[in-house]
C-alpha cells in the first residue's frame, strides 16, 4: 500500500483502540471495527449519494469497506459494482483526506474494463492537477486499473511525471512503471531516456525507484546489466537506498560472470569501496554481499572487520544486522569469524534477546571444545525469554556443535531433553526431535540415551505428527539396541492413551519389534491381540495383518525375509500412480497386479487437446487421474505392430525437435521397452493454407549402431492445427542401456488448401523438413522412484553390491551446478531434499534412488567437495539389487 494512500488508515484517531472499563475496573481493548457486518456497511455506503456530502462520514464508511476487503470479505459482482459507482461520486468533494481514500478504494475494487472509463476522466484530470498529492496518487491508481490501449494515450503524461520536479510525483510514476512492465514491457522500455534522467536525480527515493525500473527493463540482457552496473559504479549514485540496490546488482553481475576476474576486478573493488561509505546501510549491504560470495580469506577479511566494528555499536539494529550476518558466515567459514569471538561474548548479555541468541549460536559454531560447557550454561539461563524462532536457531547450532565435538554429546543431549520438556510450538519441538534423530545416526554412543529421551517425550507429546514420527523411528532403531524390551512399555502406552492415528503407528512399531527380535515375539503377539478390540478400524486392521503374517497363517513369499519385506519394506510405488491404476482397473477374474503399476515418480496425465476456454459442465465428475506411462501403455498396446513388445518400462517427457513458431511443430516421446524403443513423433501443421499427406519421419540410425529399425507407422493426413502421431520402432539388445544419436527428417506431400472453402487441391508436391537430432541417453533407462526412508533402504540393500569410486569433475561454477549435472546424467530421483545445496557450501551429500531397466532397485550416495577454487571432487557409492547394475552406474558416470 503506498504510504501516501495509507495515511488515513494509520491515522491515530481512526486506528487507536478505545478502552472500556467493566464493573471490576479491568481494562478491555476494543477494535473500532469490532462487530461490523458487510450488509450494514453497504447500507451506510448510501451516504455517498447524498447531495450534501459529509466528508467525515464518507471517510469512515470507506475505511470500514477497506477493512472488510483486507479481512478477506468477498463482494459479489453486483455489490462491487454498486460500491464502485457510489465511490466515483465522491470525486465532487474537495476534501484531501477523503480523496486519498477514494484512490485507495478504486485500487482495491479493481474495476473491470467496461467500468474503468467511468473514472478515467476524473483520474486524468487529477493527474494534471496543480495539487501534487492528487497527481501522484492519480498516477498510481490509473496505472493500476488501465489497459494497454488506454496506456498509449497517457504515456506522454507519464514521461513528464518521471522527470517532474516534485519527487513524490516522480516516484509515483516510476513505481507505476515497474508494475506496468509486467503487462506492457514494450511501452515502458520506451521511457529509457526519462528513467536514466531520474537515476541522476538529487532526490534519494527517485534515484532508488529509477534504478530499480532501469534494471528491470534490462534484466534479461546480461551484457546490458553489466554495462549499466559498470557505468553507475563510477560514482553517479548518491542515494544510500539506490546504492544498496546497486550493490545487489553488482554482486549479481559478479556471480553470473563467466571469468574468474583475475587481475583487474572493478566490480569487486566497488564492493570493497562501499565498506568505507558514510551510510551505515550501504556498509552493511556491501559486507553482506561479500560474505555471500565465494571469495578468499584475504578478500573476506575487510567485510568481517566492518561487521566486527558494528558489534559494538550503540544502535541495536546495527548490532543485530552484524551478528546475524556473522552467524551465516560461521556456517561455512567459521575460522573467518573467530577473531570476533571477544566482541560476540560481550553480546551474550545484551538486553535484546535476539542479539544475545545470535551471538551465542555464532560462538557455538566458532568456539573450541573447552568453551562448550560454559556456552551451554549461558544458553540455558535465557532460553525461556526468547521466541520459538530463535530457539530453533539455538537448537540447530547445538546440533552442529555436537557433530563437530562428538565427545561433548552428554551435556548437549541433556540440554535437548530439557528443551523437549519446556513449553514450545510444533516447529520448535520438531527441530529438537530432528536434531536428536540426526545425532543418533551420526554418533553411535548417543543412540541409547537419545531413544530414551524420545520415549519420555511421547509420554506427554501434544503433536500427533511428532508422536508418529518418533514411533516410526523407534521401530527402525529400537530392535537393534542392546535391550529392545525397555522401549515396549512406552510404545504400548500409546496404544492405550492416544488418538487413533498414534495408536495405529504404535501397532506398526510393536510389530517391527516382534518381527526383528525373536525373544520378544510371544509377548508382542499378546499385545497385538489386545489391539484386535480397538475402537478404530485402522488399528484393528493393522493388528490383524501383522498377527496373520508374522504367525505364518497367511503365506507371503517363500521365506521370513519375504514377510518382513512385505510388511516393513519401502513402498516404491507412488500413491498417485497406484490410485490411477486402481481407478482404471476393469473388474475381471485376474487379480490386480501391483507389479504392473508404474514406478515413475514424475508422471503427467496424457490429455486430449481441449478447445481454449472450454470448461466441463457444472456438476460433472472430475476425470480420474491417469499416469503418463499407463496412458501410453494403453495407447501403444492397441497398435498391432507394438502389442508384442511387452510391458512399457518408461516414457520420456516430450523433446522438441523444431524451433518455436516454425511451419511444423514436432516433438518426440521416447518409449523404452526391455528389447525395443518406440519413438512417437507428435506433429502439428501450423500453416492454414496447407494439407500434409503421407507424412512420415525418416530416421537415420548410423550413429546408433546397437539399434535396428523394425517398423514404422506413418500418418496418412495432417490438416491444419490438428495434431497427429508418427511411430518408429527399433530393436535393441535385451536389458542393455544402448545409447545413440538419431537424425530425423520429416517427409510429406503438400497440398494447397482454399481457406475460404476448406477444399484441398488434388495434386501435391513432395517435400521434406529437417528436424533436430535426437539422442537416447543412459538416463532413459532409469525410472525416478523415491524411497520414503533412504537410510533404511540403504541398510537393507545387500552391502556386497556396493561399489565405491572417486571422480574429479573439473572446474564448475558451484556445487549446485555439479549436483544438477550428475543427477541429470543418472536420471534418478533426489531424496529427502538433498538436491538443494546450501549457498556457499564447501561440501554436500546428495541421495538418489531409482529403478534400472529390468526392475533393479538402485540407491546412490554422492559426496561432493571443493578440492580447489572451482575444482569439484565427487565420491560415488552405489548399492543395487544386482552388483552388475552397480558397475554400470559407475560406467555411466565415468563416460558422462
Mean pLDDT of all residues in 469-483: 90
Q: Are residues 787 and 753 part of one domain?
A: no
For residue 646, give Cα distances in angstroms to 479, 642, 842: 43, 8, 47
Same domain, 736 and 785: no
441 SS3 class: helix
In a domain, 238, yes or no: no
Among 70, 86, 48, CA closest to 1: 70
CATH number, domain at 664?
2.60.40.1480
Alpha-carbon separation of residue 193 from 157, 200, 493, 861 (angstroms): 15, 11, 75, 54
List of residues 6+ apart from 307 with CB closer than 8 A: 284, 287, 291, 322, 325, 326, 340
User: Do the domain assignments include residue 657?
Assistant: yes
Is the confidence at residue 355, as pLDDT, over 70?
yes
Asked which of 231-235, 356-360, 624-628, 882-886 is least confident by mean pLDDT, the reply is 624-628
Question: Would you say residue 589 has pLDDT above 90?
Answer: no
Handedness of CA 555, 556, 562, 563 (dihedral sign): negative
Tens of pLDDT, residue by residue over 606-641, are 333 333 333 333 333 333 344 566 678 778 888 888
Whether residue 876 lies inside any domain: the answer is yes
843 and 865, same domain (yes or no): yes
**What mean pLDDT do residues 358-368 have?**
79
User: How many CA atoms lie less than 13 Å away from 209 in the CB half-sphere?
Assistant: 21
Q: How far is CA 7 from the centre of its chain?
A: 36
| Boundary residue ending a domain (776, 805, 831) | 776
830 and 709 inside one domain: no
- In tens, the pLDDT along 8-67 reads 433 433 444 444 444 444 455 667 777 788 888 888 888 888 888 888 889 898 898 988
Between CA 747 and CA 714 the distance in angstroms is: 10
Domain co-membership, 739 together with 831: no
**Length, in residues, of the chain:** 896
> For residue 49, is it within any domain?
no
Q: Is residue 770 part of a domain?
A: yes
Do 771 and 787 share a domain, yes or no?
no
Q: In this predicted model, what pLDDT tens digit does every residue of 401-424 receive, in sequence order?
A: 788 778 878 888 888 888 888 888
CB contact burial 746-769 (16+ within 10 A = b; e otherwise) = bebebbebeeeeeebeeebeeeeb
**Residue 4 pLDDT:** 38
Find out whether 24 and 33 touch, Cβ atoms under 8 Å: no
Mean pLDDT of the residues in the chain: 82
Which of 568, 592, 611 terminates a domain? The answer is 568
Across 592-597, average pLDDT: 73
- 763 with 635, same domain: the answer is yes
Candidates 766, 692, 684; CA nearest to 725 is 684
Mean pLDDT of 441-451: 88
Lowest mean pLDDT among 163-167, 566-570, 654-658: 566-570
Query: Cα–Cα–Cα angle for 111, 114, 120, nearest 5°?
Result: 70
The answer to whether 720 and 705 are in contact (CB under 8 A) is no
Q: Which pLDDT score is estimated for 627?
A: 52
In terms of Cα–Cα distance, which of 82, 194, 184, 99 is closest to 141? Answer: 99
CA distance linking residue 247 with residue 293, whole number of Å: 12
pLDDT at 834 over 50: yes
Q: What share of the chain is helix, strand, coil (3-state, %, to 5)?
A: 55, 15, 30
More confident residue, 728 or 374: 728
In this predicted structure, what is the pLDDT of residue 320? 93
**Calculated CA dihedral for residues 623, 627, 628, 630, nearest 10 degrees:** -100
493 lies in which domain range? 454-568
Last residue of a domain, one of 319, 344, 369: 344
Give the separation between CA 378 and CA 373, rounded to whole angstroms.
9
Q: Are 764 and 787 found together in one domain?
A: no
Same-domain status, 697 and 803? no
d(CA 442, CA 332): 20
Question: Can you tell me the mean pLDDT for 454-474?
Answer: 91
Mean local confidence (pLDDT), 72-85: 84
Does residue 376 belong to any structural domain of this protein?
A: no
Shared domain check, 551 and 461: yes
Report whether 636 contacts 642 (CB < 8 A).
yes
pTM: 0.55
How far is Cα 892 from Cα 223, in angstroms, rounded to an integer? 37
For the CA atoms of the chain, what is the radius of gyration?
A: 34
**Quick one: pLDDT band at residue 840, thresholds 50, 70, 90?**
low
What is the residue-wise DSSP string for 78-130? HHHHHHHHHHHGGGG---HHHHHHHHHHHHHH---HHHHHHHHHHHHHHHT-S
Confidence of residue 90 (pLDDT cuts 50, 70, 90): confident
Question: Residues 6 or more apart from 61 whose CB is under 8 A from it?
Answer: 41, 44, 45, 47, 48
Are 793 and 724 found together in one domain?
no
Residue with cell 553507475: 232
The set of cell numbers assigned to 582 is: 486402481
Q: Which helix (H) or strand (E) holds 848?
A: strand 843-852
User: How would you write 657-690 as a 3-class SS string?
Assistant: CCCCCCCEEEEEEEEECCCEEEEEEEEEECCCCE
Q: Tell me whether residue 818 is in a domain.
A: yes
Residue 440, Cβ density class (10 Å: 0-12 exposed, 13-18 middle, ≥19 buried): buried
Q: Is residue 73 part of a domain?
A: no
Res 29: pLDDT: 61
- What DSSP designation does 385 have? G
Residue 839 is predicted with a pLDDT of 67
CATH of the domain at 536: 1.25.40
* DSSP for 159-217, written as a single string: HHHHT-SSHHHHHHHHHHHHHHHHH-HHHHHTTHHHHHHHHT-SSHHHHHHHHHHHHHH
The highest-confidence range among 154-163, 482-491, 645-654, 803-812, by mean pLDDT, is: 482-491
Q: What pLDDT, on a 0 to 100 scale, did the predictor assign at position 602? A: 47
Q: How far is CA 371 from CA 217, 347, 350, in A?
A: 53, 16, 19
pLDDT bucket at 600, cuts 50 / 70 / 90: low
Other C-beta atoms closer than 10 Å to the C-beta of 632 total: 20
> Within a 10 A sphere around the Cβ of 314, how many other Cβ atoms?
6
**Same domain, yes or no: 808 and 721:** no
Least confident of 113-117, 261-265, 339-343, 870-874: 261-265
Alpha carbons 492 and 578: distance in angstroms, whole number = 32
Number of domains in the chain: 4
Angstrom distance (rounded) from CA 210 to CA 193: 11
In tens, the pLDDT along 772-806 reads 999 998 888 888 888 877 877 888 788 888 899 98
Q: Three-state SS for 799? A: helix
- Indicate if the pLDDT at residue 215 is higher than 50: yes
User: How far apart are the C-alpha atoms of 511 and 547, rounded to whole Å?
Assistant: 8
pLDDT digits (tens, 9 = 90+) for 130-146: 888 888 888 888 888 87
- pLDDT score of 180 more than 70: yes
Amino acid at each position: 500500500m503506498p504510504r501516501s494512500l495509507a495515511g488515513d488508515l494509520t491515522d491515530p484517531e481512526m486506528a487507536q483502540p478505545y478502552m472500556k472499563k467493566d464493573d471490576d475496573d479491568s481494562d478491555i481493548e476494543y477494535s473500532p471495527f469490532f462487530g461490523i457486518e458487510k450488509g450494514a456497511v453497504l447500507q451506510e455506503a448510501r451516504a455517498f449519494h447524498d447531495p450534501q456530502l459529509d466528508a467525515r462520514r464518507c471517510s469512515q464508511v470507506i475505511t470500514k469497506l477497506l477493512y472488510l476487503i483486507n479481512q478477506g470479505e468477498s463482494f459479489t459482482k453486483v455489490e462491487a459494482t454498486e460500491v464502485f459507482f457510489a465511490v466515483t461520486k465522491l470525486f465532487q468533494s474537495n476534501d484531501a483526506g477523503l480523496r486519498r481514500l477514494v484512490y485507495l478504494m478504486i485500487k482495491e475494487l479493481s474495476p473491470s474494463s467496461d467500468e474503468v472509463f467511468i473514472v478515467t476522466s476524473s483520474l486524468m484530470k487529477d493527474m494534471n492537477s496543480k495539487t501534487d498529492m492528487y497527481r501522484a496518487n492519480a498516477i498510481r491508481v490509473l496505472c493500476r486499473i488501465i489497459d494497454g490501449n488506454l496506456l498509449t494515450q497517457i504515456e506522454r503524461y507519464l514521461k513528464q511525471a518521471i522527470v517532474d520536479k516534485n519527487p513524490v510525483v516522480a516516484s509515483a510514476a516510476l513505481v507505476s512503471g515497474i508494475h506496468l512492465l509486467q503487462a506492457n514491457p514494450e511501452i515502458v522500455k520506451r521511457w529509457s531516456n526519462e528513467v536514466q534522467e531520474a537515476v541522476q536525480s538529487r532526490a534519494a527515493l527517485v534515484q532508488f525507484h529509477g534504478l530499480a525500473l532501469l534494471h528491470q527493463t534490462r534484466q534479461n540482457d546480461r551484457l546490458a546489466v553489466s554495462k549499466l552496473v559498470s557505468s553507475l559504479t563510477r560514482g553517479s549514485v548518491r542515494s544510500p537506498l539506490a546504492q544498496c540496490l546497486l550493490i545487489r546488482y553488482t554482486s549479481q553481475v559478479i556471480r553470473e560472470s563467466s571469468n574468474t576476474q583475475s587481475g583487474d576486478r572493478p566490480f569487486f573493488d566497488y564492493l570493497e569501496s562501499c565498506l568505507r561509505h558514510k551510510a551505515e546501510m550501504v556498509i552493511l549491504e556491501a559486507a553482506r554481499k561479500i560474505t555471500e560470495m565465494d571469495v578468499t580469506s584475504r578478500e573476506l577479511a575487510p567485510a568481517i572487520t566492518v561487521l566486527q566494528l558494528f558489534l559494538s555499536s550503540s544502535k541495536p539494529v546495527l548490532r543485530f544486522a552484524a551478528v546475524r550476518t556473522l552467524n551465516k558466515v560461521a556456517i561455512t567459514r567459521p575460522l573467518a569469524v573467530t577473531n570476533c569471538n571477544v566482541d560476540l561474548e560481550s553480546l551474550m548479555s545484551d538486553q535484546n534477546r535476539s542479539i544475545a541468541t545470535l551471538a551465542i549460536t555464532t560462538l557455538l559454531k566458532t568456539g573450541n571444545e573447552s568453551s562448550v560447557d560454559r556456552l551451554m550454561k549461558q544458553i540455558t539461563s535465557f532460553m525461556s525469554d526468547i521466541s520459538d524462532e530463535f530457539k530453533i536457531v539455538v537448537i540447530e547450532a547445538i546440533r552442529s556443535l555436537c557433530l563437530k565435538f562428538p565427545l561433548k554429546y552428554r551435556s548437549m543431549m541433556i540440554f535437548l531433553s530439557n528443551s523437549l520438556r519446556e513449553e514450545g510450538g510444533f516447529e520448535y519441538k520438531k527441530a529438537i526431535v530432528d536434531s536428536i534423530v540426526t545425532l543418533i545416526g551420526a554418533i553411535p554412543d548417543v543412540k541409547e540415551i537419545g531413544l530414551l529421551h524420545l520415549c519420555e517425550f511421547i509420554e506427554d507429546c501434544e503433536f500427533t505428527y511428532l508422536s508418529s514420527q518418533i514411533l516410526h523411528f523407534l521401530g527402525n532403531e529400537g530392535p537393534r539396541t542392546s535391550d529392545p524390551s525397555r522401549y515396549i512399555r512406552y510404545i504400548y502406552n500409546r496404544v492405550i492413551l492416544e488418538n487413533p492415528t498414534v495408536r495405529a503407528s504404535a501397532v506398526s512399531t510393536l510389530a517391527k519389534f516382534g518381527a526383528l527380535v525373536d525373544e520378544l515375539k510371544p509377548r508382542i503377539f499378546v499385545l497385538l491381540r489386545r489391539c484386535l478390540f480397538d475402537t478404530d478400524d485402522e488399528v484393528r486392521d493393522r493388528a490383524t495383518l501383522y498377527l496373520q503374517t508374522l504367525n505364518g497363517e497367511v503365506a507371503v513369499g517363500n521365506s521370513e525375509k519375504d514377510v518382513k519385506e512385505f510388511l516393513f519394506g519401502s513402498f516404491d510405488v507412488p500413491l498417485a500412480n497406484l490410485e490411477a491404476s486402481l481407478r482404471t482397473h476393469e473388474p475381471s477374474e485376474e487379480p490386480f497386479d501391483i507389479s504392473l503399476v508404474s514406478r515413475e515418480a514424475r508422471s503427467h496425465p496424457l490429455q486430449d487437446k481441449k478447445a481454449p476456454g472450454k470448461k466441463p459442465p457444472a456438476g460433472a465428475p472430475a476425470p480420474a487421474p491417469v499416469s503418463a506411462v499407463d496412458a501410453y501403455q494403453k495407447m501403444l498396446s492397441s497398435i498391432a505392430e507394438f502389442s508384442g513388445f511387452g510391458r512399457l518400462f518408461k516414457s520420456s517427457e516430450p523433446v522438441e525437435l523444431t524451433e518455436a513458431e516454425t511451419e511444423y511443430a514436432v516433438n518426440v516421446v521416447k518409449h523404452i521397452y526391455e528389447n525395443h524403443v518406440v519413438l512417437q513423433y507428435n506433429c502439428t501443421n501450423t500453416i492454414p493454407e496447407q494439407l500434409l499427406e503421407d507424412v512420415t519421419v525418416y530416421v537415420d540410425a548410423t550413429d546408433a549402431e546397437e539399434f535396428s529399425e523394425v517398423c514404422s507407422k506413418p500418418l496418412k493426413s495432417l490438416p491444419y492445427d490438428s495434431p497427429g502421431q508418427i511411430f518408429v520402432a527399433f530393436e535393441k539388445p535385451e536389458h542393455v542401456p544402448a545409447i545413440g544419436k538419431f537424425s530425423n527428417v520429416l517427409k510429406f506431400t503438400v497440398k494447397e488448401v482454399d481457406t475460404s472453402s476448406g477444399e484441398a487441391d488434388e495434386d501435391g508436391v513432395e517435400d521434406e523438413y529437417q528436424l533436430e537430432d535426437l539422442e537416447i541417453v543412459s538416463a532413459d533407462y532409469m525410472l525416478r522412484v523415491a524411497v520414503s526412508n533412504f537410510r533404511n533402504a540403504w541398510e537393507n540393500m545387500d552391502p556386497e553390491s556396493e561399489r565405491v569410486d572417486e571422480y574429479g569433475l573439473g572446474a564448475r561454477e558451484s556445487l549446485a551446478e555439479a549436483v544438477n549435472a550428475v543427477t541429470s546424467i543418472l536420471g534418478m530421483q533426489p531424496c529427502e531434499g538433498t538436491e538443494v545445496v546450501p549457498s556457499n557450501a564447501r561440501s554436500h551429500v546428495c541421495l538418489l534412488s531409482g529403478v534400472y531397466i529390468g526392475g533393479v532397485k538402485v540407491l546412490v550416495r554422492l559426496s561432493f567437495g571443493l578440492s580447489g577454487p572451482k575444482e569439484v571432487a565427487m565420491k560415488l557409492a552405489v548399492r543395487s539389487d544386482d552388483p552388475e547394475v552397480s558397475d554400470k552406474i559407475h560406467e555411466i558416470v565415468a563416460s558422462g
